[in-house]
Amino acid sequence: MNTCDAVLKDGVFDQILVNSSKSLSENLTEWLESVDYNDFKRLQTAGLNIGFPIKGIPVTIGASFSQDEFKNWKREVSSGTSRVFTEEETMQIFSKTASPAILEAWSKCISRMAIGTGLHAEIDVTNGGANIVFTVRWVPNAMNDFPPTVLAGGFQVSGATLQGTIPDGMEIPLAGFSVIMSRNGSSGVTIILNTTKGGVREEVPPIPPPASVLPPITLKVFKTTGNTASHPSTALSVPSEYKILCGGARVNWSGFGNLITACFPKDTQTWIARAKDHLSASPATIDVWAIAIHDPDDLWEVDIFSAASPSANHPSATANVGDGFVLTGGGAVANWSTNGSFLTASYPEGTTSWTVKSKDHISPEPVSITAYAIGIRARNGAAGPVIRIFTKTSTPASHPSTEVSTNSGFQLVGGGAQVNWRGYGNLLVGTFPDGNTWKVESKDHLAEDPCTITAYAIGIKP
């Protein structure tokens, strides 16, 4: 019984419409089976006007209808000899019994609830799309707008196996009639129903393929140290079954100092770092790190994107990863040739961009700088992985340093640094991983310039 049938629960119908899961005709039949003869006569006096069949012969209950005849009908219904009322008979009974005001209110309610009057079908897909419930109902525009019946061969289904049917000649109930069906595989399903008052066609789309699952993320950190030199340069290569996602470097300086000029991926298996002393000799070694993903089956696509700046005394550039990639790391090369240009920043901006900066120092040399952004995406099209950036800024110092770790649930996949210099300049000497922490260091050089430095840690998880 739909919500609007509650409008009929007035006067003689207050005891009839009691089961909200059943139709008007079912409520009416069940009530007549259970009602006491004296209660029935009382309601009949109040206006109840019912005609029902006994063995297919319509009989009207009137003032002269005996208690024995009433009991006889009830026995016929209980034994299955007498059928229940059709929706059309139920509508006729109600139209003869209820007041015009009640019937008008019921009709208006039906119209408001539905998209419109007439034949309506609904689809409910359950069990992950494997099961489909098709429900059809009739919404009358007036009490004499009786329900249609199903035409011969009027109910047709393709793409699913029925667990019931809508037989030819069946009257479409106001309360609705449902058929459950099981989809054949993942294909689409077409449902057609033609009746004496029009038809409906429903198309249930195929079940989409399951979402792709991200390949495993297994990371390993590699490290090497180069030889001592005024302009140290070190390259680190990883085994062929690994692909580099980020890298880092630290100059092991002493004395006047040795400063980073490049820290970048040559390709997905080689990371390079370079440094130089400046104006005062100070040979040093340089450590190089690479964080790489183990990918022997080539399940991950790792690519390197680059962008170069125009020449400037303080150049900067930003590289962006391609569509579908997420940023895991990046690098920078100051393209100096004479006096030198030294890195002051190489860090992530969001989850798709990498920004780099450098500056000449005391002795001018305009140069360009190249930014590298490393991106990763699954070859099977799965979305992700999830990337999150964590940051921390140091207190001001001539040689500032700080570190930042990823939160629980994230693995460190990369990191970066930004020196927040203001005067003569403070230059990068270290940006590297240590466990699940990214550490950064810088120093002023030959001219005092205390400042802060910001560390960036890039966390990754499926």
Between 48 and 382, residue with greater pLDDT: 382
pLDDT of res. 379: 96
- In 10 A of CB 56, how many CB atoms? 8
Whether residue 230 is predicted with pLDDT greater than 90 in this model: the reply is: yes
Nearest alpha-carbon partner for 449 in 422, 430, 429: 422
Give the whole-angstrom CA distance, residue 337 versus residue 274: 13
Whether residue 78 is predicted with pLDDT greater than 80 in this model: the reply is: no
Whether residue 94 is predicted with pLDDT greater than 70 in this model: the reply is: no
pLDDT of res. 99: 58
The band of 146, judged by pLDDT with boundaries at 50, 70 and 90, is confident
Which residues are within 8 A (CB) of 355 and not within 5 positions of it... i.e. 6 or more apart? 316, 317, 318, 345, 346, 347, 348, 349, 371
Residues 422 and 453: beta-carbon distance below 8 Å = no
Region 437-448 average pLDDT? 94
pLDDT of res. 249: 98
pLDDT of res. 451: 96
User: Of the ranges 2-11, 24-33, 153-162, which one carries the lowest mean pLDDT score?
Assistant: 2-11
Mean confidence (pLDDT) of the chain: 86
pLDDT of res. 37: 74
Between 263 and 278, residue with greater pLDDT: 263
Percentage of the residues of the chain whose pLDDT score is greater than 70: 77
- Going along the chain from its start, the domains and CATH numbers come out as 3-111 (no CATH), 118-204 (2.60.40.10), 219-461 (2.60.120.690)
The 3-state secondary structure of 385-412 reads: CEEEEEEEECCCECCCEEEEECCCCCEE
Q: What is the pLDDT of residues 12-68, one digit of tens each?
A: 555 444 444 555 566 666 666 667 777 767 666 655 555 555 444 444 544 456 777
Q: What is the pLDDT of residues 102-116, one digit of tens each?
A: 556 556 565 555 457
Q: What is the pLDDT of residues 248-262, one digit of tens each?
A: 999 999 999 999 999
Count how many Cα atoms sit within 13 Å of the Cα of residue 121 in the half-sphere of its side chain. Answer: 20
The band of 140, judged by pLDDT with boundaries at 50, 70 and 90, is confident
Torsion angle in degrees (nearest 10) through CA of 118, 124, 129, 131: -90
Residues 168 and 151: beta-carbon distance below 8 Å = yes
pLDDT of res. 390: 97
Whether residue 291 is predicted with pLDDT greater than 50 in this model: the reply is: yes
The helix, strand and coil proportions of the chain, stated in percent and rounded to the nearest 5, come to 15, 50, 35
Region 220-236 average pLDDT? 97
Q: Please list the residues that pair with 287 across neighbouring strands.
A: 225, 250
Percentage of the residues of the chain whose pLDDT score is greater than 90: 64
User: Of the ranges 6-10, 58-62, 122-126, 233-237, which one carries the lowest mean pLDDT score?
Assistant: 58-62
pLDDT of res. 439: 98
Q: What is the pLDDT of residues 331-346, one digit of tens each?
A: 999 999 999 999 999 9
Bin 380: left if φ > 0, else alpha if -120 < ψ < 50, else beta.
Answer: alpha
The band of 199, judged by pLDDT with boundaries at 50, 70 and 90, is very high
